[in-house]
Amino acid sequence: MRFARVKLAFRNYSTTASSAPVRVRFAPSPTGQLHLGGLRTALYNYLLARKTNGQFLLRIEDTDQTRYVPGAVEKLMASLSWAGIVPDEGPEIGGPHSPYYQSERTQLYLDRANQLIKDGHAYRCFCSTERLSSIREQRKQQGHVLAYDKHCSHLTGKQIQSHLESRVPFTVRHNVPLEGSTTMEDLVHGRVQFQHHVLDDTILLKSDGFPTYHLANVVDDHAMGITHVLRGEEWLPSTPKHLLLYKAFGWTAPVFGHLPLLLNENRAKLSKRSGHVHVEHYIDQGYLPEAVNNFVALLGWHPGQSQEEIMDMNDLVRLFDLNHLHRAAAVVDPMKLGWINKQHLLRRAESPDGLASLVDDLAPLVQQRLDKSASSQYLGQVISTVKDRIRVLKDIPDLCSYFFVPPDYTRPEAETLKRKLKQNVWQLVVEDPDTVLKPMQQLSFEEPGSIKDWIHTLSEDHGVKANHLMMVLRYIMTGTSVGAGVADTMHVLGKPICTSRLQNFVKSENK
């Protein structure tokens, strides 16, 4: 598809709180899991609706029954709910424009297709699959645009009637004019011009009676009063076809904005086949919804003069402005997402309610894999202790399992670490355990500070460096060389567990 950007300036569209309320929609196909690009489209439409006190609709475009995946709609709605993107109208909620499944609106599309045929803007195509393949191959060899040759647009009324009486299968094609051009003002790309002679006579109604996207989305957007369409850049070449349909029906077209492509770290187009592009992947990995929303929002938009980078949904609504959408393709950087998630995790952990919500998210991750009896209070202590050292909640059961189960000293990593510990400190703890064990049993574990003071006193009394003693104690308590402070970790574990781990470790080493 060839088109020209006549003017590169953005359309100046104000999205202040006093702007006229918009009606926008997210209209996915139930062909698989919700991916990051789909989430971004849904989010931008949702933000625009909330910014202008408008309405956000969810519509399921399930007219391609060959690609329908059972359960996809339920998973899609669950992902949107997780992200906090709740529609004002849709399949479960209902609304004045129901049904919101396109497969239940086929009569409307048929009526509109017949209207287009009557007015000369569409025609029935009776061409066989073999003829269509032959046309494509011929045009390909000639180096022409792979478009239909308009053969059936020239059939006489008598020929059409004969085919209908013979029950010859047919599709309905858009009768695109050969001359002229269509110009549009895109919210992202500015003024874009399309020459009609490069447009195909797209199929509007398939032989099974179901519409294609091109007809259904135009008919439904008009019927549902959609004022703005924000969608992926891949739909930009199809927009002149849609605008011609609006013109044929005598309807006012919505305002369009085509969002930039998403690229992977190698700057190749993000593949939907990659598991890491699906929202469910990030849910399973323990990312926070506000962090994923924050990250996705920045893939094609910026908050203007605001220096804010960490934003929750309220912040995004407050700052969202269509004038700050950009054309450049956006790179999906997992490292940046991890950093953003960490900032949101820290922000949540600062308040009692936020910490409680983190505990609710962490509990199933721990209870399924490590410790079914872990209390909410204990989980809250663990989060508060390690929050500066994790990117996602899943890091806690993955990297900090020692808070719930004894460390495994037989792991190769643990054996390697053991050889790096200072021998004199090792001997102090393992060969003369009462030197450490007896004062530990008398120690108060109420505050990390008292444990830290005890470690420093013990190191001074026995002429060893405090950091070397901490390394040995960390190894015994956790089996690792990194993590939160030793005193903080021992405080959370508590005296009984710390005492037990030291005793059991000494026994195993002295066998």
Contact (CB, 8 A) for 86 and 57: no
Indicate if 272 belongs to the active site. Answer: yes
Rounded to the nearest 10°, the torsion over CA 172, 175, 181, 183 is -40
**SS3 of 328, please?**
coil
- 361 three-state secondary structure: helix
Torsion from C-alpha of 474, 475, 480, 481, nearest 10 degrees: 70
Distance (Å, rounded) from C-alpha 9 to C-alpha 190? 5
Point out the catalytic residue in the list 75, 150, 206, 272.
272
By the 10 Å C-beta count (0-12 exposed, 13-18 middle, 19+ buried), 19 is classed as middle
Could you tell me which residues come within 8 angstroms of residue 370 by beta carbon, excluding any fewer than 6 positions away? 397, 401, 404, 405
Closest by CA to 379, choosing from 362, 357, 400, is 362
CB atoms within 10 A of CB 367: 15
Q: Of 428, 447, 372, which is closest to residue 404 (Cα–Cα)?
A: 372
- Residue 266 per-residue DSSP state: T
323 CB-near residues (< 8 Å, 6+ apart): 10, 12, 13, 14, 15, 304
Which residues, 6+ apart, have CB-to-CB distance to 136 below 8 Å?
A: 146
Token digits for 230?
Answer: 């924000």
- SS percent in the chain: helix, strand, coil, step 5: 50, 10, 35
Between the alpha carbon of residue 417 and those of residues 329, 404, 410, 486, 499, the distances in Å are 45, 21, 11, 16, 21
Query: Could you tell me the maximum CA-CA distance found in the chain, to the nearest angstrom?
Result: 109
Q: How many CB atoms lie within 10 A of CB 380?
A: 18
What is the token pair recorded at 186?
A: 């895109």
Element at 35 (helix H, strand E): none
Q: Which residues are catalytic?
A: 272
